């Protein structure tokens, strides 16, 4: 089995719900198992991260960037960075915020830069933007129109149950895409080895 680890932080449960959707999408691809890892438990899981074929990073947008807890995980990964232990693993990212925009792109850029420092291979969302024409609606996949990762949003005064189904489907699509890329690479490795 190929392995996808979804590494996330969530202060109030919203990003956790999105992370679950990402993992569901990844696990939906045959031959792939997905593991959800909260950065609050990270010290138990460094070996899981090192063993994974892909790492999908997720953080809420706090003050226009990743949460402090996620940044602490990024900084702690410097030990892996020194030996480039995650080089050539597949990477992707997602973020959740309260505002429609809320500067989420900065958070995804932070996740992308982090993955690049680790020598990883970034996978974008791969979906056309939704809700950007007269026939569109908030029910469209990728309703917030991101490309670099999955962008999701819900109101600040509501819980995770208020996350639109379209956003959870967008998150599932990111997980599925990463899992497909992982399977394609595994197939290529087998072909080269044969």
Ligand X SMILES: Cc1cc2nc3c(=O)[nH]c(=O)nc-3n(C[C@H](O)[C@H](O)[C@H](O)COP(=O)(O)O)c2cc1C
Helix residue ranges, H only, 28-164: 46-51, 68-76, 78-82, 104-117
Other beta carbons within 10 Å of 24 = 17
What are the start-end ranges of the H helices in the chain?
Answer: 14-27, 46-51, 68-76, 78-82, 104-117, 165-193
Q: Which of residues 134-153 bind ligand X (CB under 6 A)?
A: none
CB of 52 to ligand X, least distance (A): 22
The closest residue (CB) to ligand X is 102
- Cβ proximity to ligand X: between 60 and 176 the closer is 60
Query: What is the rounded distance in angstroms from the CA atom of residue 81 to the CA atom of residue 167?
Result: 32
**Cβ-contact 93, 56 below 8 angstroms:** yes
State the minimum distance, in angstroms, from the CB of residue 65 to ligand X: 8
Q: How far is the CB of 64 from ligand X (least distance, A)?
A: 4
| Number of amino acids touching ligand X (CB under 6 A) | 19
Q: Residue from 50, 137, 139, 156 that binds ligand X (CB under 6 A)? A: 156
Could you tell me if 55 and 91 are in contact, meaning their C-beta atoms sit under 8 angstroms apart? yes
Kindly state the smallest distance separating residue 164's Cβ from ligand X, in Å: 13
Cβ 109 to ligand X, closest distance in Å?
A: 14
**Which parts of 85-114 interact with ligand X (CB under 6 A)?**
96-99, 102-103
Least distance (Å) between residue 122 CB and ligand X: 22
Question: Contact 166/127 with Cβ under 8 angstroms?
Answer: no
SS3 31: coil
Segment interacting with ligand X, rule: CB under 6 A, options 7-15, 115-123, 166-174, 176-184: 7-15
Contact 64, 104 (CB under 8 A): no
Print the binding letters for residues 34-73 with ligand X: x by CB under 6 A, - otherwise: --------------------------xxxxx---------
**Closest among 128, 75, 65 to 97, alpha carbons compared:** 65
Rule CB under 6 A: which residues touch ligand X?
A: 10-15, 60-64, 96-99, 102-103, 154, 156
């Amino acid at each position: 089995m190929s392995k996808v680890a979804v590494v996330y932080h969530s202060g109030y449960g919203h990003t956790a719900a999105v992370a679950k959707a990402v993992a569901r999408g990844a696990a939906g691809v045959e031959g792939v198992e997905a593991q959800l890892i909260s950065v609050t438990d990270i010290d138990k899981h460094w070996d899981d991260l090192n063993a994974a074929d892909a790492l999908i990073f997720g953080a809420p947008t706090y003050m226009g960037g990743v949460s402090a807890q996620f940044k602490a995980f990024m900084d702690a990964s410097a030990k892996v960075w020194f030996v480039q232990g995650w080089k050539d693993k597949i990477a992707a990212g997602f973020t959740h915020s309260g505002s429609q925009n809320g500067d989420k792109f900065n958070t995804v850029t932070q996740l992308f830069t982090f993955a690049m420092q680790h020598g990883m291979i970034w996978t974008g969302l791969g979906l056309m933007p939704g809700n950007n024409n007269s026939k569109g609606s908030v029910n469209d996949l990728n309703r917030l129109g991101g490309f670099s990762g999955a962008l999701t949003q819900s109101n600040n005064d509501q819980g995770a149950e208020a996350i639109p189904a379209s956003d959870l489907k967008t998150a599932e699509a990111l997980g599925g895409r990463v899992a497909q890329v992982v399977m394609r690479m595994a197939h290529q490795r087998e072909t080269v080895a044969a």
